[in-house]
Amino acid sequence: MNLVQKLKQRLRRRTPGSLLGNRYFEPARNIAAREFEVDLWVLSQFVLDRLVPVIGVHPFPLNELLLASGAVCRVKPKIVFDWGTHIGASARLFYECARAFQLDYEVHSIDLPDEASHVQHPGSEHGRLVRGLPGVHLHRGDGVSVALEQWERLGRPARPLFFVDGDHSYESVLRELEQIFNASLDASVLAHDTFFQSQEAGYNIGPSQAIGRTLSQYPSRFKVIHSGPGLPGMTLLASTVALLSSK
């Protein structure tokens, strides 16, 4: 028995309320309250059952799998966009969440064109984890541009969630955030590689700085949740408008 199986068994013994038959209980909690809250026992069981066996813990460690799952369960987007598809780990995460918790959205995942030259270009592995899955659509092009074009074309679905995981420079991430939040008042963002560390570490903190700049522009527009104290880091900017309308 491997470590994941042992963890799953122990968690089931301690959290008998995670499942109702073959379905998971609703993890969003206290939705009328002011703070963002989800049931981490339910989500932990889901992560070990459905996500770790398929996508593992790289590039998203357990705390980030929990945050991303909690984000869609609480915000309840009507559409999800992600860019930096690569083999499709993030798209598969959102697909599995929709199935397990009966969430009403489709996933649009965007990556670089075939002819693009980039160190992280997936080549023939592009979208391998989500090819052919219902409700998952693969696109090529500039992430934020394609996402907003699709959002407009589809009639501006409510509470869109954007997973920002493309170019990690400060300028690029800030541009993407500005375009998203200028276009939609009820948009939420999950941004990846946002861990902040002091300069001694030599990390790229561009995404973290772009998040900080955005929050200074919109000081009361979001509930902000950070994934934790280490790399790579994930940050949720949950629109307060979206949270109110998803109750």
* Predicted structure pTM score: 0.92
Q: How confident is the model at residue 124 (pLDDT cuts 50, 70, 90)?
A: confident
CB contact set of 137 (below 8 Å; sequence gap of 6+) = 106, 107, 108, 109
In the prediction, which pLDDT does 163 show? 98
Which pLDDT belongs to residue 119?
56
Looking at residue 62, its pLDDT comes to 98
Confidence of residue 85 (pLDDT cuts 50, 70, 90): confident
Alpha helices in the chain (DSSP H): 3-14, 40-46, 52-55, 62-75, 89-101, 143-153, 170-183, 206-217, 240-245
Q: What is the mean pLDDT of the chain?
A: 92
Amino acid 71: pLDDT? 98
Domain 74-245 CATH (choose: 1.10.760.10, 3.30.497.10, 3.30.70.1050, 3.40.50.150):
3.40.50.150
Residues 6 or more apart from 161 whose CB is under 8 A from it?
A: 71, 72, 75, 77, 79, 80, 81, 105, 187, 188, 189, 190
- In the predicted structure, residue 16 carries a pLDDT above the cut 60: no
Question: 136 pairs with which residues across the strands?
Answer: 107
Sequence spans of domains, the chain: 74-245
